[in-house]
Amino acid sequence: MIRGDSVEYELLKKWCDTLPFFEEPKSVTTCEIGVREGLGSQIIMMSLTPRIGKVDYQHYAIDPYNDLEYQHVDGKASWKETGTTPPTYPNSMRDQLVKDFANNPYFKFYNMTDVEYFDIFNLSKTVFDLVLLDGPHTTKDILKESLWFADRSRIGTRIIIDDYWVANYDVIKGALSYWKFEPIEQGKSKVCFERVK
């Protein structure tokens, strides 16, 4: 079943519905890092497909599942080290996701981490129009992801960061400003950056 574990999905929908295309796109590409049960990806695709008509469209969904052990936020060890109950992202969740999107022609699933994806597709010429970052929330990870996508963006591209407040927002905002991304709207949980030049 397609579900979300975050908040402010109405903002995500709005930022998809208002994604500006400053030039007629030959193809449109969106992406979510950290997919879980798929609601973020579902909203992105449902908003964009009616807007872009017959233009070639793909949505990349990247997530390793397998209850990956990772540092979730700055200054805290991984779940195993702190002895707290980990959030669960088991492979059974992945298998359900694959079933739920089996008939969606736009959904391309990559069962791997962000860094594995970046390594494999480093030479790809794909330009991204909208990206939702909802995997690890450390400043280092968000910076790495944001800059990889910023380097593969065009004017109007949006980068949306979930739970941005747990990371060092000023550092991320400063780094993205190098690539001419500015925050266009900030919720309590999600923030949307847009490339303005």
Ligand X SMILES: C[S@@+](CC[C@H](N)C(=O)[O-])C[C@H]1O[C@@H](n2cnc3c(N)ncnc32)[C@H](O)[C@@H]1O
Interface positions with ligand X (CB under 6 A): 4-6, 33-37, 39-40, 62-65, 68, 70, 89, 113-114, 134-136
Smallest gap from Cβ 152 to ligand X, in A, equals 17
Q: How far is the CB of 49 from ligand X (least distance, A)?
A: 19
Residue number, 63 or 194, with CB nearest to ligand X: 63
Paired tokens of 169: 């927002």
Minimum CB–partner distance for residue 3 and ligand X (Å): 7
Chain position whose Cβ is nearest to ligand X? 34
126 vs 177, beta carbon nearer ligand X: 126
Please tell me whether residue 148 adopts helix, strand or coil conformation: helix
CB of 114 or CB of 194, closer to ligand X: 114
Rounded least distance, CB 148 to ligand X, Å: 12
Strand ranges of the sheet holding 27-33, from the earlier edge strand across to the other edge = 107-110, 56-62, 27-33, 130-133, 158-162, 190-195, 181-186
The residue assigned the tokens 């022609």 is: 105
CA-based nearest residue to 103, from 29, 6, 30, 2 = 2
Nearer of residues 21 and 121 to ligand X, judged by Cβ: 121
**CB of 20 or CB of 90, closer to ligand X:** 90
Query: Quick one: how far is CA 130 from the chain centroid?
Result: 8
Contacts of 19 (CB under 8 A, 6+ apart): 48, 51, 129, 130, 156, 158
Q: CB 159 → ligand X: shortest distance, Å?
A: 14
d(CA 183, CA 100): 33
Closest to ligand X by CB, 5 or 182: 5
What one-character DSSP code corresponds to residue 85?
P
We find the least distance from the C-beta atom of residue 162 to ligand X, in angstroms, to be 6
